[in-house]
Structure 1
Amino acid sequence: MEHPSSTNYEIAQVCLLAGKIMLENGGETYRVEDTMSHVAKAFGIPNSHSFVTPTGIIFSIDGPEQTTRLIRISARSTDLHKVTVVNAISRQISRGELTPSEAHWLLEEIEVAKAGYPTWIKILSAAIASGCFLMMFQGKWSDFLPAFVAGGAGFAFLGYFHRLVPIKFFAEFLASLLIGTMAFLFVSLKLGHDLDIIIIGSVMPLVPGLLITNAVRDLMAGHFVSGVSKGAEAFLTAFAIGAGIAFVLSFYSGEGMMG
């Protein structure tokens, strides 16, 4: 017969891995805690506690053989497909269809799985979204191509800059700087007309919409630490985008005045 402490350890590992995958791929704090609690209860652990922040998860199991584990979250991105798959595995566990070892094996496969879409599709999607946002903001069809190109290039170089510069703020600043420069060049070469609308449409794929949504949702659910920290991260991203565009506009407006 397996010792209870080793069983608790294995269950804690499953809960932590499920929470880690969800948190790293855009899951809300309340959803992560709820999933971990349901998994623990399904495995016969009614008394479990979790403390989730954007940078780490603490999970504890009460009882004679108390188990407390901590896992660090160092990278965060957006892949809601992985969040959905983890939710599906959680429901399988609740129905008693998986053992802790089987669940851990499935979660490990999800963790190492590559993103659902290749990079070129993401870049193309960002480019199309930029053009569509331009039209939504009442832009002209003549500005669709400049927004398409600038938005796609900005999104592509965001990933490139982030690999070169591990600090996310500078990668976002450089990407928005590139978008602003390209938009200005398109207008200068008479390939575009409305500089403001082109820039607004092109930067929309960089806007931290999911972060803002999760921050508000966590604050409403009473998760103030996670809500405030995600809100601060969203604010820094917005500030980086605004600073990059402001730098381009101030530089070229200064050049125009000198000319």
Structure 2
Amino acid sequence: MNPNKVIQLAIKAGSLLLESGAETYRVEDTIVRICNNYEMVDTNCFCTQTGIMLSSIYDGTTYSQVARISTRSTNLDRIGKINQLSRDARILNVEQFESQLNHIVETKTYSLLTNVLFAGICTFGFALLFKGTWIDALCAFILGVIVRYCTLLFEAKELNSFFTISMSAIFITLSALIFEQIHLIANRNTVIISTIMLLVPGLAITNAIRDSIAGDLVSGTARGVEALLIAIAVALGSGIAMTIWISLGGMI
């Protein structure tokens, strides 16, 4: 067995988990389990929102590696598969583990059509939940589809997330105000809130609380700050849109 290879695979698995939105404790637990399954001992792993530090001992020699995490998204399916693979590693050799990990990485996620369609369905449902009319829900559906498509486009171009969220909030708010001005919808607030739900950092808030309770204060604080910045971006975008609307003579 090549211990360097095991360390590299453990780091790769951990990086994929962090990039997919996994909690810090889950990443550390998965990395340690992988190393232990291949007879490495005294494994120590420290993860934050933006990096992983790992060291482990094999046959009296210490092996270590550091990884920098620069991208983050949400892929619960990938998290589940990698977590299960780490448990199955005890019956797999290193080559088989690497093959299955690469297969997980290459597995395609939802298509663009599925992404935007279900984003629209999500906003449609929220509009009805917030007691909007069917027309309000339909407008929220259209805005949800457009916002999700633009968000994916901006992510592909690696634009700053704060800018992306702010621009999305501006578009949502201005569109709802225009729809109300032409008497297409009954309540602009319902449409705005329903569509903005796509931008709410629910996973970041949940993981921040979970990491803090588990004692991972650095990661918990980092995720909390990330959630706060997203909330500020949403509020800033909506505020800018309303300011523009009022300056153009519109009524709020």
Residue 127 of structure 2 is aligned to residue 134 of structure 1: yes
In the alignment of these two chains, the number of paired residues is 250
Q: Does 1:33 align with 2:39?
A: no
CA distance in 2, matches of 1:183, 1:120: 24
SS of the aligned residue for 2:197 comes to helix
| Runs of 5+ consecutive residues of structure 2 not aligned to the other structure | none
Q: How does 1:62-77 map to 2 (within 5 A)?
A: 62=57, 64-77=60-73
Task: Name the structure 2 match of 1:237.
Answer: 230
Q: Give structure 1 stretches of 5+ with no counterpart.
A: none
Give the superposition deviation at 1:185: 1.6
TM-score, L = length of structure 1: 0.91
After alignment, is 33-42 or 154-163 more displaced?
154-163
Q: Secondary structure at the match of 2:145?
A: helix
Identify the residue that residue 167 of structure 1 maps to in structure 2. 160
Is residue 19–residue 36 contact of structure 1 (8 Å, CA) maintained in 2?
yes
Cα distance, 1:27–1:249 mapped onto 2, change above 3 Å: same
Query: In the alignment, which residue of structure 1 is the partner of 2:149?
Result: 156
Counterpart-to-counterpart distance in 2, 1:108 and 1:161: 26
Aligned residue among 247, 251, 256 for 2:249: 256
Alpha carbons 2:45, 2:52 under 8 Å: kept: yes
How far has the Cα of 1:257 moved from its partner? 6.2
Partner of 1:13: 8
1:193-236 C-alpha deviation (Å, 9 max, x unpaired): 11111100011111111111111100111111111111111111
Counterpart secondary structure, 1:74: coil
What secondary structure, in the 3-state scheme, does the structure 2 residue paired with 1:166 have? coil
Displacement, 1:109? 2.5
- Structure 1 residues 14 and 223, CA gap change in structure 2 (3 angstroms): same
Code of the aligned partner of 1:68: S
What is the aligned partner in structure 2 of residue 194 from structure 1?
Answer: 187
**Percent same amino acid at aligned positions?**
33
Distance of 1:111 and 1:225 partners within structure 2: 28
Question: 2:170 corresponds to which residue?
Answer: 177
Letter in 2 for 1:155: R
Q: Bigger shift: 182-191 or 78-87?
A: 182-191
Distance 1:185 1:157 in 2: 20
Helix, strand or coil at the partner of 1:66: strand
Counterpart for residue 84 of structure 2: 88
Q: Does 1:52 align with 2:47?
A: yes
Q: What residue is the counterpart of 2:56 in the other structure?
A: 61
Query: Does structure 2 conserve the Cα–Cα contact (< 8 Å) formed by 1:45 and 1:61?
Result: yes
Tell whether the 8 Å contact from 1:59 to 1:70 is kept in structure 2 after alignment: yes
Quick one: distance in 2 between partners of 1:70 and 1:161?
29
Deviations 1:11-57 (A, max 9, x none): 21121111111111111100010111111111112310001111111
Structure 1 counterpart SS, 2:47 = strand
Provide the rounded CA distance (Å) in 2 between the counterparts of 1:172 and 1:227: 22
* 1:203 aligned onto 2:196: yes
Alpha-carbon separation, structure 2, partners of 1:122 and 1:257: 34
